[in-house]
């Protein structure tokens, strides 16, 4: 079978024979080894034997994991004061923008902030990072349910964006929510900037929230735009409720 683990779960609901076929250990073993490939085969086999009773399917369901078959989307809104006309009204504008995250099994991720809706961004985030489009590539690390991620913004004065998240699910095994715990930008020593983004997470490891390594760029802890990320599978990007404009959905409660 070439079905993804999520489609294996759906196939198991068809009939008793399909349910039996989808419980083959080799299917779930391959899924686990691919999902946690950064841990290595031996470490995954040890965890499966010690914590999950040798069941790869139980390991897939119970062990926290980031999802790679779609985008994590944070929809944020704020009110901006408009220009009064004829001294009669004081207009305000409801502004909506999104933060997007896409993760990969090898520890890389893509990050983008834009007013464009999900169905307009999904195609660009399925390819390689294009910095001209405001799409940046970084590295992340998952420890239990805690996610540490970092991106370097290039330029004459390189800036690091550090993201701390908490992984959870609306139902057991879903892992379809990411709570945004902190969002910090700070300076980085130009001598420490790697040629590639593979080492950025190691550079900022252990930094304090208010720590910066460039006196010209102070550390800033952002407090706005902190709505939780909601997972949207690629097959649902065109129909997701997150595509609704502000005149139809002024505020979204992720749950």
pLDDT for residue 239: 92
Per the structure block, which two tokens stand in for 15?
């009939």
- For residues 216 and 124, state if they share a domain: yes
Q: State the total domains in the chain.
A: 2
pLDDT of amino acid 127: 60
Q: Are residues 84 and 139 in the same domain?
A: yes
Note whether 110 and 136 are within 8 A (CB).
Answer: yes
Question: Cα–Cα distance between 142 and 82 in angstroms, integer?
Answer: 42
Taking alpha carbons only, the member of 193, 234, 236, 229 closest to residue 213 is 193
**Residues pairing with 240 in the sheet:** none
Q: How many CB atoms lie within 10 A of CB 161?
A: 20
Predicted local confidence at residue 249, as pLDDT: 83
Residues 142 and 240 in one domain: yes
Tell me, yes or no, whether 119 and 153 share the same domain: yes
Domain C-terminal end among 25, 46, 62? 62
Residue 253, in any domain of the structure: no
Q: What does pLDDT average to in each consecutive run of 10 residues of the chain (255 residues)?
A: 74 84 86 90 94 93 93 90 65 85 92 92 72 78 93 79 94 93 85 61 77 82 90 92 85 76
- The pLDDT value recorded for residue 23 is 83
Judgement on whether residues 200 and 166 belong to the same structural domain of the protein: yes
Radius of gyration, alpha carbons of the chain: 21
Please give the pLDDT value at position 197. Answer: 46
- Amino acid 6: pLDDT: 78
């Amino acid at each position: 079978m070439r079905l993804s683990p999520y489609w294996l779960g759906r196939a198991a609901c068809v009939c008793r024979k399909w349910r039996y076929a989808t419980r083959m250990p080799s299917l779930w073993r391959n899924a686990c080894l691919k999902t946690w490939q950064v841990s290595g085969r031996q470490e995954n086999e040890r965890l499966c034997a010690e914590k999950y009773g040798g069941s790869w399917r139980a390991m897939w369901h119970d062990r926290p994991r980031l999802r790679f078959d779609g985008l994590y989307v944070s929809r944020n809104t704020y009110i901006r004061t408009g220009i009064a006309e004829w001294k009669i009204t004081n207009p305000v504008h409801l502004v909506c923008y999104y933060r997007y995250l896409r993760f990969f099994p090898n520890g890389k991720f893509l990050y983008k902030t834009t007013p464009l809706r999900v169905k307009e961004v999904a195609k660009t985030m399925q390819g390689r990072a294009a910095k001209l489009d405001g799409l940046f590539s970084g590295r992340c690390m998952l420890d239990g349910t805690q996610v540490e991620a970092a991106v370097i913004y290039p330029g004459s004065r390189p800036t690091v964006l550090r993201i701390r998240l908490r992984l959870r699910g609306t139902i057991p095994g879903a892992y379809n929510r990411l709570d945004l715990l902190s969002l910090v930008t700070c300076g980085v020593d130009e001598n420490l900037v790697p040629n590639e983004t593979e080492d950025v997470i190691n550079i900022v490891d252990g930094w304090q929230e208010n720590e910066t390594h460039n006196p010209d760029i102070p550390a800033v802890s952002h407090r706005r735009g902190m709505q939780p990320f909601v997972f949207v599978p690629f097959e649902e990007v065109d129909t997701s409720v997150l595509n609704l404009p502000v005149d139809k959905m002024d505020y979204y409660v992720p749950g």
